[in-house]
Amino acid sequence: MDWIKTYSNIIKKNLDKPDRTSKLIKLGLDVAYRYVTLFPDRKLPKSLQYLNKICLKNIKEPLSSPQNSAWVNIFAPTEFLHAMDIYPLFIEAYSSFMSGFLIEDALIDKAESAGISNTLCSFHKAFLGSGELNILKKPKMAITTSMVCDANINTFRYLSEKYDIPLYIIDIPYEYNRDSLEYVKKQLKEMAVLVEEVFDRKLDIDKLREIVIRENQTKALINEYIENLRQRCLNSTMTFELYMLFTSHVFLGREDTLKFYKMLTADIKSAPLRSGGGIFFIHLPPLFEESFKECFNFGKEFHILGCDLNYDFLDEVEYGDPFEGIAKKMILNVYNGSIERKIEALSNIIDRIEPDGIIQFCHWGCKQSIGGAGLLKDYFKRRNIPFLAVDGDVIDKRNNQHGQAKTRLEAFLEIIKRR
């Protein structure tokens, strides 16, 4: 859209003025929030209109109040932050918004010119570029994990040193057993003490339990939503699958997240029956890739049935001892550990949803995603489920081979149609 291009050009012209740039970014998020509040997209079900609003609110809050915020990655145990009324700035989401604002290229170029490898994942490069440009305001601290993403520790360590803020890295073992559980639990206790010291406030254990109880109520609704996906589907776009990563991860346990899933389950129960081919994504959908947008956004012939990252831990979390419950949740996340665990979890979710085809968009620089693609291909072949693995970049639009992606997608969808 022209106005986004104009806005993007204004930001790019001001990149050497960090204060002005960060104000422009906040202004863009404010305007977007007001716009979706006043003029919700009527093509969307009510739940997704609401999701649009809360995601903008959740990204605005830490940017507007950096001194009450902490940088986190998608797997960080943010229940502790919610219990202490601290805003998490979810770095993968921040980079996605910067790509939505069409400035990811400038941020990534800045990171690369500062010596960051061009093979690093662009979710990280865009965030690092913002740090290099000092567009990001100093938060109080940062929390990350060793699990799943090999880029996290380096990004967080580098930026925490640059911004001179405390960092807590939670080391998550591959295997689940009593020792590993105690090991993670001990780290969570240490992390909670550090958060208390840094923010000068006390963790109320009952408030943490309330957050976990709400998280469990939310999980029950997510499971109910999944059961309905076998027959029905929402009129949606790939963006909303990515937005659901806010509610299925970093903002779990919050009131607005629970409200969203209540609305979502009500919407899916009254949604039209699946009439076209249902497509399930592994890891992430390529929300900026034109051929995918044409086929799946508000698609009539093909519907988006979800992406597995939103369903990486669907069990209840023990709330009596929330430290133990959250530790268990982290170790047993299906993306943690061996690829066999991930395949088993995928198999369960696919049996529940029964998609007609599965797509893995292998995001540039993401080793955990690309590394498992061959094994997943073999697995789906054995199960006779059409599977497409296509390379590209979810964030940096310059890294996509549009022609090749389009040809491969069309051939894949033709197979599904013939079935």
Total number of residues that touch ligand SF4 (CB under 6 A): 12
Q: Interaction with ligand SF4 in 30-59: which residues (CB under 6 A)? A: none
Cβ closest to ligand SF4, residue 272 vs residue 371: 371
Cβ closest to ligand SF4, residue 74 vs residue 106: 74
User: Does 144 engage in binding with ligand SF4 (CB under 6 A)?
Assistant: no
Which residue among 53, 54, 92, 286 contacts ligand SF4 (CB under 6 A)? 92
Q: Shortest approach of ligand SF4 to residue 147 CB, angstroms?
A: 9
- Is residue 341 packed enough to be buried (19+ CB in 10 Å), middle (13-18) or exposed (0-12)? middle
Which residue among 130, 248, 368, 400 contacts ligand SF4 (CB under 6 A)? 368
User: Does 125 engage in binding with ligand SF4 (CB under 6 A)?
Assistant: no
Cβ closest to ligand SF4, residue 157 vs residue 207: 157
User: Does 123 engage in binding with ligand SF4 (CB under 6 A)?
Assistant: yes
CA 319/CA 206 separation, integer angstroms: 10
Cβ closest to ligand SF4, residue 169 vs residue 213: 169
User: Does 232 engage in binding with ligand SF4 (CB under 6 A)?
Assistant: no
User: Does 307 engage in binding with ligand SF4 (CB under 6 A)?
Assistant: no
Q: Shortest approach of ligand SF4 to residue 27 CB, angstroms?
A: 27
Cβ closest to ligand SF4, residue 135 vs residue 245: 245
Distance of CA 236 to the CA centre of its chain: 17
Which residue among 22, 236, 369, 400 contacts ligand SF4 (CB under 6 A)? 369
Q: Half-sphere exposure of 229 toward its Cβ, with a 13 Å CA cutoff?
A: 25
One-letter amino acid of 189: K
Cβ closest to ligand SF4, residue 234 vs residue 359: 359
Phi, psi of 57 (to 5 degrees): -65, -45
Cβ closest to ligand SF4, residue 37 vs residue 117: 117
Nearest to 110 by CA among 134, 93, 92: 134
Nearest to 130 by CA among 93, 88, 175, 86: 93
Nearest to 96 by CA among 238, 236, 308: 238
User: Does 149 engage in binding with ligand SF4 (CB under 6 A)?
Assistant: yes
Q: Shortest approach of ligand SF4 to residue 284 CB, angstroms?
A: 7
Which residue among 86, 89, 143, 366 contacts ligand SF4 (CB under 6 A)? 366
Q: Half-sphere exposure of 64 toward its Cβ, with a 13 Å CA cutoff?
A: 11
User: Does 121 engage in binding with ligand SF4 (CB under 6 A)?
Assistant: yes
Residues in CB range of 99: below 8 A, 6 or more apart: 126, 288, 394, 395, 396, 397
Binding part of the chain for ligand SF4, among 33-41, 119-127, 197-205, 288-296 by CB under 6 A, reads: 119-127
Cβ closest to ligand SF4, residue 278 vs residue 392: 392
Cβ-contact 155, 145 below 8 angstroms: no
Cβ closest to ligand SF4, residue 26 vs residue 157: 157
Distance of CA 379 to the CA centre of its chain: 25
Nearest to 331 by CA among 317, 321, 310: 317
User: Does 336 engage in binding with ligand SF4 (CB under 6 A)?
Assistant: no
Please report the beta strands in 259-402, taking only residues with DSSP state E, as ranges in sequence order: 277-282, 302-307, 357-363, 387-392
Cβ-contact 335, 211 below 8 angstroms: no
User: Does 363 engage in binding with ligand SF4 (CB under 6 A)?
Assistant: yes
Q: Shortest approach of ligand SF4 to residue 8 CB, angstroms?
A: 23
Question: What SS3 class is residue 385?
Answer: coil
Alpha-carbon distances, residue 65 vs 26, 62, 97 (angstroms) = 11, 5, 18
Binding part of the chain for ligand SF4, among 23-31, 247-255, 346-354, 358-366 by CB under 6 A, reads: 358-366
One DSSP character per residue, 184-228 reads HHHHHHHHHHHHHHHHT----HHHHHHHHHHHHHHHHHHHHHHHH
Which residue among 148, 167, 170, 389 contacts ligand SF4 (CB under 6 A)? 148
What is the CB neighbour count within 10 angstroms for residue 146?
A: 15
Cβ closest to ligand SF4, residue 89 vs residue 121: 121
Contact residues: ligand SF4, CB under 6 A:
92, 121, 123-124, 148-149, 151, 363, 365-366, 368-369
